[in-house]
Amino acid sequence: MSEPLLRIANLKTHFRTKGVGLFGKKKVIKAVDGVSFDIAPREVLSLVGESGCGKSTVGRTLTHLEKATSGEAQFEGRNFLSMTSAEFRPLRREIQMIFQDPFASLNPRLKIEQTLGEPLFIHGLCKTWDEARTKIAAMLETVGMDPKVMARHPHEFSGGQRQRIGIARVMILKPKLVIADEAVSALDVSIQAQVLNLIKKLQRDSGVSMLFISHDLGVVRHISDRVAVMFEGKIVEIGEKHQIFEAPEHDYTRKLLGSIPRVKIGKEVT
């Protein structure tokens, strides 16, 4: 077996709240409290659980948007949780994140050409704008958009189109690991299916590994190789997709399967 691309060991991310009133005591919120898992090359691991269970904090911690309290996270054998921002910067091309809100994740002042082009120059993948525009046009077509839209601004697009642009911005860098945090939950149900199938196709074609974070088991069953179920900051069950859906062992997993609405995806990408 090949070595895991990503290995997480006993990850903890705690937050200390401010006390209320003169004698208010500070409290510690254990958003992530001892999480461990691996992701293999080309694998999709879904992290699923109800809102507030800590799953999004895992993704934000792995991209240095939140500071870990303790634990290890190794990417290709390198522990990057303890890295400074400067030390982590070279890994930002290889570890990319798709955010839940496609509008908030795009700079409204920048044209799509600039949004997709700037990362190419920052990471040294292009030297001229002609070269960048060629790559941008190809990537826009890959995510199902007309290259002519690169001259427009984010507010001119629908939510589904903006998420396609956000996906294009991530995939144009050819990352090794993509963390998708509720990437379809802000979209209309009919658009969810289209974007979910797009993500799956891009993952299969590129071979990128993925941590897919979602509250909906009905969505993750269409994209996952394995599923990790999270509850109150901890992973309570992890296994192959068929095992989680056909023979769940934990009571919380069974309740989650029975209570969360499922999205009808239609014909799955093969």
* Sheet containing 28-39, strands listed edge to edge, beginning at the edge strand earlier in sequence: 28-39, 6-16, 70-75, 78-79
Q: What are the CA-CA distances from residue 77 to residues 174, 190, 259 (Å)?
A: 20, 40, 39
Q: What is the pLDDT of residue 269?
A: 45
Is 181 in a helix, a strand, or coil? strand
Name the E strands within 153-233: 177-181, 209-214, 226-231
Q: What is the pLDDT of residue 270?
A: 40
Please state, in angstroms and rounded to a whole number, the distance separating the CA atoms of residues 258 and 82.
Answer: 39
pLDDT digits (tens), the chain, 270 positions:
578 999 999 999 999 887 665 566 778 899 999 999 999 999 999 999 988 899 999 999 999 999 999 999 999 999 999 899 899 988 999 999 998 887 788 899 999 999 999 999 999 999 999 999 999 999 999 999 999 999 999 999 998 999 999 999 999 999 999 999 998 887 888 888 899 999 999 999 999 999 999 988 878 888 999 999 999 999 999 999 999 999 999 999 998 888 755 545 455 444
Q: What is the pLDDT of residue 105?
A: 80
pTM score, two decimals? 0.89
Taking domain 1-94+215-270, whether its CATH number is 3.40.50.880 is answered by no
Place of tokens 């993948």: 125
Q: What is the pLDDT of residue 121?
A: 95
Name 249's Cβ contacts closer than 8 Å, sequence gap at least 6: 237, 239
Beta bridge partners of 214: 48
DSSP string, 37-50: EEE-TT-EEEEE--
CB atoms within 10 A of CB 209: 23
DSSP string, 145-169: --GGGGGS-GGGS-HHHHHHHHHHH
Beta bridge partners of 70: 12
